[in-house]
Amino acid sequence: MRMLKPALAALVVVIMAAPAMAQVPRTRDGKPDLTGNWTNASVTPLTRAPTIKTLVVGEEEAKRIASGYAVGGIKEEGYKTNYSDPNKGAPPKGGKDFGIQAYDSFWWDPGTSLALVKGEYRTSYVVDPPSGQLPFVDPVGQEKARLANRERYDTGNAAYEGPEDPTLGERCIVFPPRSGPGMLSSGYNNNSQFVQTPDHMVIQIEQVHDARIVPIFESAEKAKAGHKPAALHPWFGDSVGWWEGDTFVVESTNIHPEQAEAHGFPMSPKGVITERFTRTSEKDIFYEFSVVDPATYTQPWKAESSFYPAKQLYEYACHEGNYGMIGILAGAREKERRAAAKTAKVRTAKGGQ
C-alpha cells in the first residue's frame, strides 16, 4: 500500500488539473485553438515613461496613469467627451500637432486602461531590459532618426511631391506597429482575427485589413530551414511558425526595409523577431516577442502583452490611391507650374535670355 501512495498522489494531481486544462479550447489535433476575434487595446507604450520606475503598478495607480494619456503627447481640450466640432478647422501647417490632430480626438480609440498582463497592470511592453527601455547601440542617432521620421507627419512640412513620399500608413499599405511582427496597440482599430488550421495561422489585422499568413512546420528546425531566400523582403517579414508544447512560435526575418524604418521600433536588415502566443484561458492569449538585432541593439530585448476577446472586426476603409493622394500630387504639380511660370517671367524681363 505504501508503494501505491505516490502513484495515487500523482493521479489526484492530474484529476485536479484536468478542469483547468479543459478551459483552453483545442483543435481536433489537440493544439490550443487561437481562432477568434481578439484585441490588445491599451494605452501602455512600448517603452516606460521616464517618470515611472516600475513595470507593474496597482489598480489605482494604473487608473491615474491611463487618465493622463494624450494622443501623441498632446492633450486636447475635451478629449474623450464624445464631441466633434465641425467648425473647428484644421490646425495650422507646421504646428507640432498638425498630423496628430488633423481631426479631433473624437475619432481616437486607443483603449482606456494600461495593459493587463498575467493579472498585472503593466507600464511598458518592454520587460527586458528591466529598465523598460530599448538598448540602442546608438541612442542619440536613433532619437534623431525618430524625430526626423515624425517631422513629416507631425508638422505637414514634408515635400510630398511624389506618390511614395507619404508614410506607409498614409498610403494605406501597412501600419507596422499594429500588424507586426511585434504587434503593438495603436490609436484605434486594435482588433485582430486569428484563423488556425493544421498547417497555417492567419492573423487578420483590423487596421488596414492586413493579413499575416504564417506557414506551420513540424519543428523549429524545419521552420527555420523553410525561410525564403534572403533577397525577398515581404511586408510583415518572412514568417515561419511551429508549436512548442502549447505555445505557437513565429520567427520573422527579412523585414521589408520601408516597414522596418516605419516600425514601432527600428530594425536592421539582419534583425530577427520571435513571437510566442500562448492561450492561457478561454479569455486570454499571453503574447510575447523578442528582438535580436546586434546592428541596432546592444542585447536581445523582450516585450509582453495580452490579447482579450473582441466582438468583431470592423471595416477599415483605407486604401492606397484615395482622394488624399490625388490632392497631394495635384498640389505638387501646381507648385511646379508656379515655379516654372516664375522662371519664365524672369527670363522675359531679361529679354528672353
Record the pTM.
0.83
CA atoms within 13 A on the CB side of 207: 27
Does position 213 have pLDDT exceeding 90, yes or no?
Answer: yes
- Residues 92-133 have pLDDT tens digits of 666 665 655 555 566 778 888 999 999 999 999 999 999 999
Please provide the average confidence, as pLDDT, over all residues in the chain: 83
148 vs 335: which has the higher pLDDT: 335
User: What are 167's three cell numbers?
Assistant: 508614410
Identify the three-state secondary structure at position 243: strand
Residue 321: band (very low, low, confident or very high) from pLDDT cuts 50, 70, 90: low
Mean pLDDT of 284-301: 97
Using the predicted structure, report yes or no on whether residue 78 has a pLDDT greater than 60: no
219-225 CB contacts, 8 Å cutoff, 24+ apart: 220/244, 220/249, 223/251, 224/251
- Three-state SS for 137-160 is CCHHHHHHHHHHHHHHHHHCCCCC
pLDDT of the residue at 17? 40
2-18, pLDDT tens digit by residue? Answer: 444 544 444 444 334 43
CA 254/CA 231 separation, integer angstroms: 8
Q: Give me the pLDDT at residue 22, please.
A: 45
pLDDT digits (tens, 9 = 90+) for 14-71: 334 433 444 899 999 999 999 999 999 999 999 999 999 999 999 999 999 998 776 5
89 or 238, which is more confident: 238
- What percent of the chain has a predicted confidence (pLDDT) above 90? 51
Query: What's the confidence (pLDDT) of residue 34?
Result: 97
Q: How far is CA 9 from CA 1, 17, 22, in A?
A: 13, 12, 21
pLDDT in tens, 169-200: 878 888 878 888 999 998 889 999 999 999 99
Number of residues written out for the chain: 353
- The kind and range of the H/E element at 184 are none
3-state secondary structure of 15: helix
Q: Is residue 328 within 8 Å of residue 166, measured between CB atoms?
A: yes
